[in-house]
């Protein structure tokens, strides 16, 4: 497969691992890259920039193929410094960074001056155009189906992907609602140059989360996610559990809830512990609606190869059926 994404990233297939906090570690990123896709180490999974440098080095021990680093910027705090993380990324020699979050322009500028290619995650066409103007190399456009923060516009991929393609000049990754070859084919037909996968790679053998969590998500449907923080205008999609139920209940009470009221439930440390221990109700577990489409826990190699084969077969089938 050859698209602008494979050319830019130097990979065999136009498939990128999404930047997943607590999940994007060396073993998973390397396995994704070894499968012919593009792995992603998540910077702020690590406790410090120094730890990130070690994790990047570990990834290089496991693969000789290209991979990148995700650096997610805070959606709430305005005075956080990312200098240490940027220094570590530059020192590591990584050539591609995925950015996400508020006010990325200063971070983008600093990375670009070092020749680093930037994939920026957006949830709307207007934000994508702003990022393109700031000089990013790729837009990853996150639809309403996506895990994590899908934005406030509630636009699904069938609308958002072609709407973004109409306006953007740079390559585009479709993100959210993609779990198999058929959805990959649909994204390409709708104008994407490649796809960004989070939940699908989360449910692989190399994923570092506990098997109890993997099996629970595998047994779930597309109806088993919950949108939280809607009243705070910081909407996020997570797997439905006791923690999401409690958050929604607090938001719906008379007078609503502040971020401070929810902070103990939103704790990333708590979510990380739940993923490691297999405690389904111990913390927030990120998952997109595609859990309803995933029915196995393969190796990354098998996940990628079957996805590509299914994508090709789907596109050939459409051509055969509709083109004389």
pLDDT at 80: 76
pLDDT at 322: 74
Q: Among all chains, which residue has been given the structure tokens 């990853």? A: 140
Do 16 and 101 fall within a single domain? Answer: yes
Do 164 and 255 fall within a single domain? Answer: no
Do 220 and 261 fall within a single domain? Answer: yes
**Displacement of CA 55 from its chain's centroid (Å):** 19
Do 163 and 228 fall within a single domain? Answer: no
Q: How many structural domains compose the chain? A: 2
Do 30 and 172 fall within a single domain? Answer: yes
Residue 199's domain spans which residues? 4-209+297-322
Do 172 and 263 fall within a single domain? Answer: no
pLDDT at 145: 97
Token readout for 297 is 């826990």
pLDDT at 318: 82
pLDDT at 282: 97
Closest Cα partner for 172 from 154, 156, 160? 160
- Host H or E run for residue 195: strand 194-197
User: Digits of tens for pLDDT over the chain (324 positions)?
Assistant: 899 999 999 999 999 999 999 999 999 999 999 999 999 999 999 999 999 999 999 999 999 999 999 999 876 666 678 999 999 999 999 999 999 987 788 899 999 999 999 999 999 999 999 999 999 999 999 999 999 999 999 999 999 999 999 999 999 999 999 999 999 999 999 999 999 999 999 999 999 999 999 999 999 999 999 999 999 999 999 999 999 999 999 999 999 999 999 999 999 999 999 999 999 999 999 999 999 999 999 999 999 999 999 999 999 988 777 765
Query: Can you tell me the distance from the alpha carbon of 159 to that of 247, in angstroms, rounded to the nearest whole number?
Result: 29
- Host H or E run for residue 159: helix 157-167
Do 157 and 256 fall within a single domain? Answer: no
Do 108 and 146 fall within a single domain? Answer: yes
pLDDT at 294: 96
CATH code of the domain covering residue 57: 3.20.20.70
Residues near 296 by beta carbon (within 8 Å), at least 6 away in sequence: 218
Do 242 and 201 fall within a single domain? Answer: no
pLDDT at 312: 96
pLDDT at 78: 64
Do 128 and 202 fall within a single domain? Answer: yes
Do 64 and 117 fall within a single domain? Answer: yes
Do 126 and 219 fall within a single domain? Answer: no
pTM (2 d.p.):
0.95
């Amino acid at each position: 497969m050859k698209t602008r994404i494979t050319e830019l990233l130097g990979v065999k297939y136009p498939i990128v691992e999404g930047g997943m906090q607590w999940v994007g570690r060396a073993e998973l990123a390397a396995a994704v890259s070894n499968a012919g896709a593009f792995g992603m180490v998540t910077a702020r999974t690590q406790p410090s920039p120094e730890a990130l440098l070690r994790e990047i080095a570990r990834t290089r021990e496991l693969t000789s193929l290209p991979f990148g680093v995700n650096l997610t910027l805070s959606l709430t705090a305005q005075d956080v410094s990312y200098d240490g993380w940027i220094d570590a990324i530059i020192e590591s020699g990584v050539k591609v960074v995925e950015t996400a979050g508020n006010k990325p322009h200063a971070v983008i500028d600093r990375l670009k001056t070092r020749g680093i290619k930037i994939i920026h995650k957006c949830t709307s066409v207007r934000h994508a155009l702003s990022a393109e103007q700031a000089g990013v190399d790729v837009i990853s456009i996150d639809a309403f189906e996506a895990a994590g923060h899908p934005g406030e516009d509630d636009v699904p991929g069938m609308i958002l992907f072609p709407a973004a393609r109409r306006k953007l000049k740079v390559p585009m990754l479709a993100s959210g609602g993609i779990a198999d070859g058929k959805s990959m084919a649909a994204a390409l037909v709708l104008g994407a140059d490649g796809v960004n996968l989070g939940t699908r790679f989360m449910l692989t053998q190399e994923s570092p989360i506990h098997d109890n969590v993997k099996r629970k998500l595998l047994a779930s449907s597309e109806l088993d996610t919950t949108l939280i923080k809607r009243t705070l205008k910081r909407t996020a999609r997570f797997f439905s559990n006791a923690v999401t139920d409690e958050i929604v209940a607090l938001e719906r009470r008379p007078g609503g809830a502040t971020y401070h009221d929810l902070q103990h439930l939103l704790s990333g440390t708590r979510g990380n512990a739940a993923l490691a221990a297999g405690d389904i109700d111990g913390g927030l577990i990120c998952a997109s609606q595609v859990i309803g489409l995933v029915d196995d826990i393969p190796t990354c190699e098998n996940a990628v190869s079957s996805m590509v084969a299914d994508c090709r077969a789907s596109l050939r089938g459409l051509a055969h059926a509709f083109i004389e």
